Each structure stands twice: as C-alpha cells, then as structure tokens.
A and B are shown apart, each in its own frame.
Chain A
Amino acid sequence: MATDVTRVQGEVVNNPFDEDKDVVLLLNHFLDALLKEQNLVQNEVRL
C-alpha cells in the first residue's frame, strides 16, 4: 500500500538562468507571488 514519496524528475536541466525564456517567466511569477505574500508576512510577529 505504501507509495514512493519521491519522483525522479528525469534529466537535470541545464542552468535555467542561461537565457531561458521559461526561467524569466518563472522568475516573474516568483516575484509576483513573493509580493503577494509580503504583505502577509510583514504583519507577522518576528519571534
């Protein structure tokens, strides 16, 4: 019944920052998501 909790992702991609348009898209999404979460985190207690 147990399942493998990991899944091999296949071949490792080259450095995704090598002028890869997908990476630019991912970075933009990352930035937007961080921005969205930022407002929530800023209101959190530090400790």
Chain B
Amino acid sequence: MSSQESSEKKALKQMRVVVVQLGRTSDVLQSLMSLRAAKQLYPHLMFHMIVREKFSDAAKKVAWLDGVTTLPIDLLFKGFDNSAASRKETLKQLSALLIPLTQKPWDLVINWTFSEASSFLTALLPGFVKTGYSRRDDGCLSAIDGWSHFIQAVVQSELPQNIHTTDILTTQLLTALQIHAGDPNPTAGESAVTSKTFFNLELGEREVFQNLKDVSRKWIGIQLSASCEERRYSAESLAHFSNQLLRRHPECGIVLLGSSKEDVLAREFFEHIGTGERTRVVSLVGNTDFDLWASVIGRCHWLVACDSAAIHLASVLGTRVLELAIGGTRYEETGPYGNGHYVLQSALGELPSPELIYGLWAYASSEWSHRRNANLSHHLSELGLTHTIGNHRVFRSKIRNAQDGGGVVYEPLLKHAMTTDDWMSKVTGHLARAWYCGWVPAVGHELDRETLSPSLIQGLRKLNDTSEVLAKIFQESIKTAQELSNKSAKLKSDKVMSLEYRDVLRELGKKLMELETLIERMGTSDPQLQVFNRLTKVLMHNLPGAHLSDLGRETAENYKMLLQGLDLIRDWVKHTLKLIRPVAVVQNDVKLVGKIGIKESEPL
C-alpha cells in the first residue's frame, strides 16, 4: 500500500454498525444482500449482525461480516411458564446475551426487523445514530427515519407500492452512511452483489455430486415450501409441471427441496410423477442443512418456487428464478432480485395451470435462442396455451440503470389492463423516491398508453377531484400548525400562560385534530388517498419536538412534505388523463386550406 493510499484510508471515518434482524431466513437473506452492497462501498466499516439462532445459518456463512450475535430465543423459552421465578431466570439469561452488545456504543444501529420486539432491542442498544423502529423515552414505538415511516405507513399497511424491500433497505443504509461516514471509498468497485461465492460453503463438488448423482444434468430446483399455506402451489400440480418438462427436455433433472415438514408434499409429488420421469427426480426434502441447500440451489439452472426464502437464496447466488406468486404475494416487494427472473402472478382466486408454468419456463429458458425477440403471447399460442393465460400476469425482472434510479423493476411480458392498484403502486414508489432519495424520475415514464382501462380513468377522474380537496386540507393544516408554532414560540413556558392565550392555543390544537379527522375521512372515501392518511398518522406520532413551538413547526413541515407528494400525484393524474386523449395517427401535413373552404386560422 502506498503512503498516499495509507493516508486516504486513515482519512476514511471508521464506524461500527450493528444490524438488528430478528426475522426469518428470507429477511436475513435480503438484509445480507443490502449489507453486501454497503460493505463493497465502505469496506473499512465494521458490520455486525444480530439474528435469531434459528435463522442464523446464512449470516454465519458470509466472510465479510465482522461479527454475528445469535439469540437462542427457542432455548430461552424452553420450559418458560411466565411465573415470577421463570421470568426472573429468563430475564437474567436475556441480559447476559445482550450485555456484550452494550459495552461500547455503536456508531449506527439499524433495525431492519420492523417488529415490536426488535424495537425494544434497538432501544436497549447504545448508539449515536439509529434507524428503523425503536422506543422513545416514554416507551412508545418510534419510527426514526423517513424510510421507516414509509415501511410502517405503506408497506406494513399493505398499500400498493413498487419498491423492492432490498432496495428500501439498501437505500436507507447507504443514505445513512453517506451522511455519517462520508462518500463511499473512491476505489470501491462496482462488482455485482450477487454471486455463486456469496457464502463460504464447506461442501465440495463431491458432496454435491453425491446428492445430485449426475452433475452433468441441467438441474431445475423446485422448492415445495412457501412462506404460508395460501401462497403454496400444490405438489400434485408441480409434479404435472415436472412431467412435461422432463418429457420434453431429456437433458434436465428435477431436485426437490424443502424441510422435513414437506415430507408429505414430497410423497404427494412422487405419487403424480410419471414412471419414466421418476429416475430424473432427486428429493433432498428434509435432508438439507444450509450448506447443502445453498450449494444445490447455486448449481441449479433454475429454481421454481412460491414466495419463500429459497427465492432470496437463489437471487443471492445468481440462480434464475421462476416465482409462482400466488395467494396475494407482493412480488414487487419480495420477488426475486436481479436480472432475468420471471414472476407468474396468479389472478385472484385462480391458480395457473402446470401447462402454463411449463410454457413460461420453456420461453424463459430458451431466451438465449430467441433473445427475447419472440413474443411471449405468440410463444404460448404456438404451444396451444393461450386459453390458460386467463387473468394471470407474467413479469421479467430487470435492474434499472443507475441514472434511471437503479433498483429492480418487473416488466410485464403480457399485455393487461392496468388496475388502479397498479397505477397507485407506481405512483407511491415515485413518491417515496422523491421524499427519501431526493431523486425524481419523470412523471409517468413507465406508463403504457395501451394498458389504460376505462375503469382506471374513471378512478383517476375521481382522484383528480378528491386530491384537490385534500390539498386544501393540507394547506389549512400547514397554516394552522405554523400559527400554533408562532404563537407558542412567544411563551416562556409551555405550561404557564394566560387563560386567554391558553384558549387560543387550545383552539388551534383542536382545529388541527379536526383537520386530521378530515384527512382520515378522505382516505376512507378514496382508497388512493389512504397513503396520505396512513403517513399523516405515522408522521404525527413520530414528531420529535419536546416543546409546543417545535411540535407546531414540525407538524407544518410534515404537512408541506405531504402536500408536495399530493402535487406529484396530481401531476401523475394529469399526465395519465392526457395520455388517453386522441392523437394523430398520420403525421402527413395534409393541406385542406382553401380546398373545402377552411381558413388557415381555423382549427381542424
């Protein structure tokens, strides 16, 4: 290392960062992906992670984390009966686990769990800066930063929005680091976050070969489990899909994956697999530890899975995914991350047929030959599968260029009418970027005129009116909050004042409460405005000020932010309504002037 490099390294601010992730394996994997991106840009920073012992395998297998603390929660509650003695003993054990984490203050405490329990843990950790959920001095839940407000108000309320969770976490972390640790290391490369070597796996080729029997095959992994029962595709249907795939692709094999809880599903699968195809199916259900699970998925050409941790594992390892997004899976938030993954989103109350899944996989896996010049509809039509499409939707993932805002986006491959939720999902994603990234894409640049349906337009015309009313409420709220701030700033104390003054302040406070009730009603009457109602509640709950004048000023600032967001929505409405106006099909400049008695100044 040259002396110049050495002095540059010294100049970089050292920071100790701790990430609280008490979620499941899927959450841990998404967190690791975001942390990896940060570690590449800030290699000199120290990253530590706190995870549940039960879901700690992935975190323990990365070499670039500086430390992992595992909380053996299951063990902690073994024999727990909530008696005073049992409580005392468990608290003692819990303290013993946490004390090492509290000896030295952390520079940055990041809570990526967004749960009640994790908020108490975050409050217990000493730190200079905290993001995510924590607790205030009075014990109330506090969502500390902008992205956490967004998660609480929008993501956890299940309002439509299109920013992937991994992108939210990454942006939140990188922004915090840029503010508190400075710009990234100038020598940091832009290498991909995902790779086959993401984890330090101990299994060699031999062990994997022993399990897969024939490594020369093109293995297609099928994860039988799902995050919940409603999101699981039946084992029987997966067997029918596999039959078609194996019959037409002799070079392929199927490897079944899942925990021991999926033994029943594996048996059901084998009951429906063809006799001729059975020899090319390997079941590792119930027999995979993390190493084998990751090693096998890493060697698969494709993974077919419903909403599950396997999707995130395949994304991290760079294995292509075909996700069966059924049962209301929010694929835009939790779908496969990276380029070239496919998502088949099932229509509400309908399940895609095995034939459709095969048709889609056949299209996706032969991209190299048609280079995506072949249309998916045409491909399905050639296979005689048009009738199976129904209301299902198909998307292909793509990482946007950095200049377009980055992040993953799911591009539709089949034309379908845009619903109000689809539209709102794009708009809310745009709002979040404007609020928390300071980066604003062009309004409506991802809208396709041909997909705008009459029902959407009808909804937008209503939104045009209701948003105007809400804008007036916000303006009145800003005025009232500013007045409250100005008047209370003149007070020497928030508690001692003249009766007349007290009544004035009380009236202003009452008016603000009434305006908040009106915002709530607007959200109920027009679901597209619900995002503003939810955010109002979260923002008002999280006002940091201690004095009346500060609270008034912060309230006004929050309403200004919401009004700016509302203006953005109104721009989207205007843009969309403009798109449906008739446009000239032929651009030829046909001169009719003088021929049929039209004057040049008259509009045609």
Chain A residues at the B interface, C-beta cutoff of 8 Å: 1-9, 12-17, 22-31, 33-38, 41-42, 44-47
Number of residue pairs A-B, CB distance < 8 angstroms: 144
A46 contacts B129, CB within 8 Å?
no
Residues of A within 8 A of B436 (CB): 2-3, 5
Q: Which of B94, B145, B225 contacts A30 (CB 8 A)?
A: B94
B54 contacts A46, CB within 8 Å?
yes
- Whether, in the assembled complex, B3 has its beta carbon less than 8 Å from a beta carbon of chain A, the answer is no
A26 contacts B116, CB within 8 Å?
no
A37 contacts B117, CB within 8 Å?
yes
B131 contacts A30, CB within 8 Å?
no
Q: Which of B258, B290, B308, B564 contacts A1 (CB 8 A)?
A: B564
**Distance in Å from the Cβ of A25 to the closest Cβ of chain B?**
7
Contact with A along B48-71 (1 / 0, CB 8 A): 000010110000000000000000
B24 contacts A41, CB within 8 Å?
yes
Q: A3-B146, A5-B175, A46-B54 are in contact. Are A26 and B435 (CB under 8 A)?
A: no
A47 to B147, CA, bound (A): 28
B80 contacts A27, CB within 8 Å?
no
A1 to B435, CA, bound (A): 6
Residues of A within 8 A of B22 (CB): 37
**Distance in Å from the Cβ of B309 to the closest Cβ of chain A?**
6
Interface of B: prevailing SS: helix
Q: A1-B434, A41-B24 are in contact. Are A35 and B126 (CB under 8 A)?
A: no
**Which of B94, B124, B439, B544 has the most CB atoms of chain A within a 10 A radius of its CB?**
B124
Q: A6-B131, A6-B179 are in contact. Are A30 and B117 (CB under 8 A)?
A: yes
Residues of B within 8 A of A1 (CB): 434-435, 438, 440, 561, 564
A43 to B176, CA, bound (A): 35
Per CB-CB distance, the 8 closest pairs between chain A and chain B, nearest first, are A2-B438, A33-B117, A30-B120, A12-B105, A5-B145, A33-B116, A6-B176, A45-B225
Residues of B within 8 A of A22 (CB): 137
Residues of B within 8 A of A4 (CB): 145-146, 179
A37 contacts B115, CB within 8 Å?
yes
Stretch of B95-103, B345-353, B366-374, B492-500 at the chain-chain interface: B95-103
With A44-B227, A47-B288 known, 19 other A-B pairs at CB within 8 A are A2-B435, A2-B438, A3-B435, A4-B146, A14-B126, A15-B102, A15-B103, A16-B124, A17-B95, A17-B98, A17-B99, A17-B102, A25-B139, A30-B117, A34-B76, A35-B77, A35-B80, A46-B261, A47-B259
A5 to B147, CA, bound (A): 7
A-B contact pairs, 5 of them (CB 8 A): A26-B135, A31-B91, A33-B119, A33-B120, A45-B261
- Whether, in the assembled complex, B477 has its beta carbon less than 8 Å from a beta carbon of chain A, the answer is no
Q: Which of A9, A24, A33 contacts B128 (CB 8 A)?
A: A9
Residues of B within 8 A of A7 (CB): 129-130, 144-145, 544
A47 contacts B116, CB within 8 Å?
no
Q: A26-B135, A46-B25 are in contact. Are A9 and B129 (CB under 8 A)?
A: yes
- The residue of chain A having its C-beta at the shortest distance from the C-beta of B142 within the complex is A7
Chain B residues 7 to 65 lying within 8 A of chain A, measured CB to CB, are 22, 24-25, 52, 54-55
- Whether, in the assembled complex, B123 has its beta carbon less than 8 Å from a beta carbon of chain A, the answer is yes
**Distance in Å from the Cβ of B104 to the closest Cβ of chain A?**
9
A1 to B87, CA, bound (A): 48
Residues of A within 8 A of B435 (CB): 1-3
A46 to B440, CA, bound (A): 40
Residues of B within 8 A of A13 (CB): 126
B144 contacts A6, CB within 8 Å?
yes
